[in-house]
Chains A and B, each alone.
Chain A
Amino acid sequence: MENKDKNRGKNKLSRRHFLKASMAAGTLSGITLPLQSAVAAEAATTDTADNKAALPFSIRKLLNEATLPAAKGPRVVVVGGGWSGLTMAKYLKIHNAAFDVVLIDKRPEFISFPASNSWLADQINLDFLTHSYIDAAKAHNYQFLNTTVLGFDRESKKVFTSNGYISYDYMVLAPGIEYDYNRIGVDDPESQMRLYNDYPGGFVNSSEVITIKRKLNTFKGGTFVLNVPNGEYRCTAAPYERACMAAAIFKKRRIKAKILLLDMNAEIRIKKRGFEKAFSSLYGDYISYLPSTEISGVDIDNKTISTDFDDYQFDDAIIYPPVRASSLLEDAGIANLKTRQKVASTDPYKYHVIGDEHVYVTGDSRSQPFSKGGHTANSEAQYVAEVIAAHALGKEVRWRSPQTMCFSAVDINPLKAMSIITFYKFNKKNMEFEFDSTHMMEDWNVEGGQASLAWAEGMYRDMFYK
């Protein structure tokens, strides 16, 4: 798979080449079998460059190096262009201008999840949420590659993509989350896929949010189910916020609709007083809030959600299953499958994979229990970028806590919102991170609504523009 090996021993089986090829294939866990056999078959017959032509096109491409300008300094590959990866790419360049930074994402453009609940209720337009990776890379002097990561070889420090492989000196994995339908009793892939398509959760892929907006704006009436997952799901306040926005839309549309908000937790997880007040004073006729509702299965044909106690019939739904770290961590061979969210074993302060100080995990796939969301990812990445820049210089930086700033829209026309800000500290007694200097502002108002949008704009500015 290395170019210099291309012309070695024509038509002769080279054991070294064979081993190398199968080793490389072995790291691509998602597609291990077909690739391994294809490459092994190739190596078993002949060992030449021309022979690559006999392989399927996509595989041949994969064995070549991706086309990128030659690295002018230590190359840092950032996998995942969400809030963490975008911030990381920018601040890596700020803290070490010599770094050659490549940001990879499979999405061609960025659509923000934070503030998207306000978009559902037409308080902002899609332009507000949509931003260009090209603008970001240009403004902050790194390269963006629109490609899909297929696997890793940490031994030879390569990341394999659908454009070919990229060699790295440092790699940051910020691939985010995946849904874990198993945890609501939906086990087989076919049902999972149907559930995803019929009732998308709206927290992984922006198409889900577009579908949800259409659903809310065309719902004819009846029972609309929303749920709050358990565990460390993405955006703690967002499912409650979304219930408010859905109710506001139904209220504005004057339809006879009931929102059942099934919470898998014992009580509202965050901004409890503010949300309780919103549910009762604004949406008493629309929202029924049901805490401690453990979802144990979904009957898609009969539109029924089963819980430990009751079954709930619905006409339409948004089903947000619990989440886990992206399976790319498994592909990299660093996920600890014994943890509930299948996170990597990383240093809690420095973020590198235990035993590999050249690979870091940040953002919502991190192993620390910080609140998953945009602001946390942004503030954390600013710090971790400094850690990596310092590592390259043989230095260290002092740990500082990520910061979670979280707004929740509660009412519309005009937009009204409330907020919370918190930091974290490590409690040495029970060896856990806990909230620190938490401040709630649960009285929602117009100033909060304006602040929520100014906040989002400031964050986009940080990630995309000069």
Chain B
Amino acid sequence: MKAVIQYVLVGLMCLAASNVRAVEKITIQLDFTPDIEDGKTTFSVCARCHLPEAWGNADGTYPQLAGQHINVLMKQLLDIRNGTRQSSLMFPFVQQRTIGGYQELSNVVAYISTLPMNPDHAKGPWKEGTAEYNQGESIYQKNCSNCHGDNGEGNNERGYPKLQGQNFQYMSRQLGQIKSGLRVVHPAMQAVIQNLEFEQLDQAVNYASYFAVPKEDMAPSKTWRNPDFK
């Protein structure tokens, strides 16, 4: 397994002779081979809040991390590290001086990606067959499925989050924060959210919360406990 970190530098070149400033974009790609064992050690710090299974919780304070695409996890860690994604509590945990460099970040996201998902994650209040569920389905298919996939599978290459297995409250609160300007995301995502009402956003994530998690990605039971932290 390889974690690929791609990041963009916007170089600001000041030309001494004039006031003309040319902005250049530099893209650097770095390859790392993750060390899962080291990732496990690092994850023991994360697990104190995210818990050893990384399944998140029903009221949405913590997301399900297990099974998430590594590029999505990596992007979130880097966004929190540089302050793009505001999370005061997470901030000190993901700094160079605490967690380490890109290698260590790669190790821990690789470890998280090996964890099986919660077979009983928290779903939204409107079950299949309700008007709200159907509303949500059509909103989702129209606005979200292009990137997040017809079944919420996301896209690792492009860094689109997997929605399968994500707790309803977590998705609802994130969209609410994005709509209120409290969380900054990709402009395309931002635009979609601005065009929908809070109620419609809830219906869409309600629908997303019912996506089936592939059996091979799931833990055998909801009482499964991560044997690495027994």
User: Given known contacts A454-B93, A458-B93, is B48 in contact with A448 (CB within 8 Å)?
Assistant: yes
The residue from A401, A421, A450, A457 contacting B49, defined by CB atoms under 8 A apart = A421
Question: A169 near B: Cβ within 8 Å?
Answer: no
Q: What size tier do the contact residues of chain B reach?
A: 20 to 34
Does A447 make an interface contact (CB < 8 A)?
yes
**Complex CA–CA separation, A379 to B92 (angstroms):** 18
Q: Are B89 and A455 in contact (CB under 8 A)?
A: yes
A419-B48, A421-B51 given; A454·B57 CB < 8 A? no
User: Which residues of the partner chain B approach A447 to less than 8 Å between Cβ atoms?
Assistant: 41, 44-45
Instruction: Please name all residues of chain B whose beta carbon is closer than 8 Å to the beta carbon of A419 when the two chains form the complex.
Output: 48
Chain B residue numbers with a CB within 8 Å of A403 are 61
Q: Would you give the shortest CB distance from B130 to chain A, in whole angstroms?
A: 19
Chain A residue contacts of B60, Cβ below 8 A:
400
- Give residues of chain B (181-230) contacting chain A, Cβ–Cβ below 8 Å: 182, 229
Number of contacting residues on A, CB 8 A? 27
Is A268 in contact with chain B by the CB < 8 A criterion?
no
A437 part of interface (Cβ distance < 8 Å): yes
Which residues of B have CB within 8 Å of A407?
48
Chain A residues, Cβ within 8 Å of B182: 94
A455: chain B residues within 8 A (beta carbon): 48, 89, 92
A450 to B44, CA, bound (A): 11
Verify if B91 is at the interface (C-beta below 8 Å from A): yes
Q: Which chain B residue shows the least CB distance to A454?
A: B92
Q: Is B19 an interface residue (CB 8 A)?
A: no
Q: A458 with B91: in contact, given A400-B59, A439-B51 (CB under 8 Å)?
A: yes
- Interface flags for B27-48 (1: CB within 8 Å of A; 0: not) read 0000000000000010011011
Please indicate which of the listed interface residues B48, B88, B92, B98 has the most CB atoms of chain A within 10 Å of its own CB.
B48
Residue in contact with B92 in the complex, picked from A94, A437, A441, A457, CB distance below 8 Å: A457
Q: How far is A186 from B154 in the complex, measured between Cα atoms in Å?
A: 64
Contact partner, A459, options B49, B88, B229, Cβ 8 Å: B88
**Measured CA separation A450–B46 after assembly (Å):** 11
Contacts of B98 in A (CB 8 A): 450, 454
Cα A423 to Cα B57 in complex, Å, equals 10
Which residue among A379, A439, A445 has the maximum number of chain B CB atoms within 10 Å of its CB?
A439
25 A-B contacts (beta carbon < 8 Å): A94-B182, A400-B60, A421-B48, A421-B49, A439-B51, A441-B47, A441-B229, A445-B44, A447-B44, A447-B45, A450-B45, A451-B45, A451-B48, A451-B93, A453-B92, A454-B45, A454-B92, A454-B98, A455-B48, A458-B88, A458-B89, A458-B90, A459-B89, A461-B88, A461-B92
